[in-house]
C-alpha cells in the first residue's frame, strides 16, 4: 500500500497502489493537502493499481473532494475497475465524483456531470424518487 504522486502539466496525479483503507487514508489526505498548499488545483486520483476501497477510504475521498472544491480546484477519479465503479454507483458517489476510465489527467478540470449517461448507456436518475426497484 502506497501512493505515488506525479505531475502532468498543471495536474497532480496520485496513484493509489494496493488498497485505500482506514490504515492509510490519512496519507492520501496529507498528500493532497500538501499539493494544495503548493498551489495545485487540478487533481486526478488513479485507481489502476487499486484492488479495494473500504468505507473509511470512501470517506477520505469525500473529504478530499470537499477540500479541493474549497480551494477552487477539480478532482477526477480514473481507472476504476468494475468492482470499484460498482461501489461508487451503489453508494451514489458517482454523482459526486467525475469518473474517467481513460487514465488521462487532461480532463481533470471538468466537473462531474450527474446527469451524464452512465457507463452502461442508461441515463442517471434525476432524484432519489426516480430510483425504485
Residue with cell 487533481: 43
Q: Is residue 113 part of a domain?
A: no
Print the domain residue range for 48.
2-104
- Asked if residue 126 has pLDDT above 90, the reply is no
* pLDDT band (50, 70, 90) for residue 1: low
Give the end-to-end CA distance of the chain in Å, rounded to a whole number.
38
| 57: its cell numbers | 477510504
How many domains is the chain partitioned into structurally? 1
Give whole-number Cα distances, 104 to 25, 30, 77, 126, in Å: 23, 23, 10, 28
pLDDT at 132: 39
Q: Is residue 50 part of a domain?
A: yes
Amino acid at each position: 500500500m502506497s501512493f505515488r504522486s506525479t505531475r502532468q502539466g498543471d495536474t497532480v496525479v496520485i496513484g493509489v497502489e494496493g488498497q485505500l483503507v482506514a490504515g492509510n487514508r490519512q496519507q492520501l489526505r496529507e498528500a493532497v493537502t500538501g499539493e494544495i498548499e503548493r498551489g495545485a488545483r487540478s487533481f486526478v486520483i488513479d485507481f489502476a493499481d487499486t484492488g479495494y476501497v473500504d468505507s473509511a477510504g470512501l470517506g477520505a475521498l469525500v473529504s478530499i473532494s470537499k477540500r479541493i472544491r474549497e480551494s477552487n480546484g477539480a478532482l477526477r477519479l480514473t481507472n476504476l475497475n468494475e468492482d470499484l465503479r460498482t461501489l461508487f454507483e451503489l453508494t451514489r458517489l458517482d454523482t459526486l465524483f467525475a469518473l474517467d476510465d481513460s487514465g488521462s489527467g487532461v480532463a481533470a478540470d471538468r466537473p462531474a456531470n450527474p446527469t451524464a449517461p452512465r457507463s452502461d448507456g442508461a441515463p442517471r436518475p434525476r432524484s432519489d424518487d426516480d430510483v425504485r426497484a
